[in-house]
Amino acid sequence: MYDDRYGYPGAFTLLACGQCGHRHVDARFTPEQLGILYSEYYPRSSMPLDSYAPYTELKGFAAWLNGERSSAFRWVPEKVRVLDIGCGFCQTLGYHNNRGCESYGVEVDSNARRVADKYGLNVRIGVFSAADYPANHFDYVTLDQVIEHVVDPHQVFAGISQVLKPGGTAIFSTPYSYSLPARIFGRTWMNWHTPYHLQHFSHASFRLACEKAGLELLKTRSITHSEWLRYQWLHSLRYPRIGQPSLFWAPREGNGLSFGNIRVRALNLMHRMKINHLLTRLFDLLGKGDNALYFVRKPAAG
């Protein structure tokens, strides 16, 4: 496998467990290499502060058709204490605060500090560590498209177990490499996202990770945003060679993926006609969509 978005050099081996089906990219980075990987290749957020706006409540049929309940934070009820691990530019924290929650965030991208300082949000910059929070403290913990990036997921699961209250809930969203699109597109499936996505959970491996941390997997749901399939078509249209950035994900001036291109126009027309939406809802109905939601509980004391 190789970086088919931003052109980070090198090839990596994708390993799979013959028992539980967990897939793992065998990439070992020094701290210096990680810094280069994410600062020089992975595009960091540059959202203008004045455009910051919390997410709002979902309404109507369009939200279902678009797959907008694909994010873990959407399943958090009102008036609870919640920790969002990987809170990005903090729209989730504003959303929770507006619903009467006591919200906390942790984010490795220091750009989040600008938003947190301006809007008075409770955010820690750095890697999640349970030692930063009281034990048995949160009603809910959420991770949206985060657990696949971590080097040691068992350490993260154990930390979540430590900070959750007995009876508390953790909700994860993560790409599902046993989806139908993953089988259809093969090595050009966009969510391999090597070497940024290191962990690809099967349902069995996710359950085992929960059990090892003393957590209980309550349910698994397949809900995928319909935009993902449009991205997948465009990603596959101009799949790059090793060491080259994608014209879709990292366009360069003068040689980007032109939206006047007849194939691009056809793909965009297909999206406007809601064909991607209907296909995505079908994949999810079969439990084989690209995005898995996992609902996990910490057993109540006693």
Question: Residues of 264-279 as b/e, b for ≥16 C-beta within 10 angstroms?
Answer: beebeeebeeeebbeb
Terminus-to-terminus CA distance in the chain, angstroms? 46
> Mind listing the pLDDT tens digit for each residue in 25-68?
998 887 677 767 776 777 655 556 777 889 999 989 999 999 99
Query: Which residue(s) pair with 201 in the sheet?
Result: none
Write the DSSP string, 103-121.
EEEEES-TTHHHHHHHHT-
- 205 closest CA partner among 22, 25, 16: 22
pLDDT for the residue numbered 39: 66
Q: Is 63 left (phi over 0), alpha (psi -120 to 50) or beta?
A: alpha
> Mind listing the pLDDT tens digit for each residue in 75-97?
999 999 999 999 988 999 999 99
pLDDT for the residue numbered 254: 47
Better-predicted residue by pLDDT, 254 or 280 = 280
- 225 closest CA partner among 277, 177, 283, 188: 277
Altogether, the residues listed in the chain come to a count of 302
pLDDT greater than 90 at residue 240: yes
Q: Count the neighbouring beta carbons within 10 Å of the beta carbon of residue 150.
A: 18
Q: Count the neighbouring beta carbons within 10 Å of the beta carbon of residue 216.
A: 12
pLDDT for the residue numbered 253: 47
Q: What whole-number distance in Å separates Cα of residue 280 and Cα of residue 96?
A: 28
Better-predicted residue by pLDDT, 267 or 101 = 101
Report percent pLDDT > 90 for the chain.
76
pLDDT greater than 90 at residue 109: no
Better-predicted residue by pLDDT, 141 or 59 = 141
Q: What are phi and psi of 16, to 5 degrees?
A: -135, 140
Q: What whole-number distance in Å separates Cα of residue 124 and Cα of residue 214?
A: 26
Q: Please, what CATH class does the domain formed by 14-297 belong to?
A: alpha beta
HSE value, Cβ hemisphere, 13 Å, CA-based, for 67: 27
- pLDDT, averaged across the chain: 91
pLDDT greater than 90 at residue 261: no
pTM above 0.85, yes or no: yes
pLDDT greater than 90 at residue 214: yes
Q: Two tokens at 71?
A: 């994010």
Mean pLDDT of 271-280: 96
Contact 195, 37 (CB under 8 A): yes
Q: Where are the domains of the chain?
A: 14-297
pLDDT for the residue numbered 68: 96
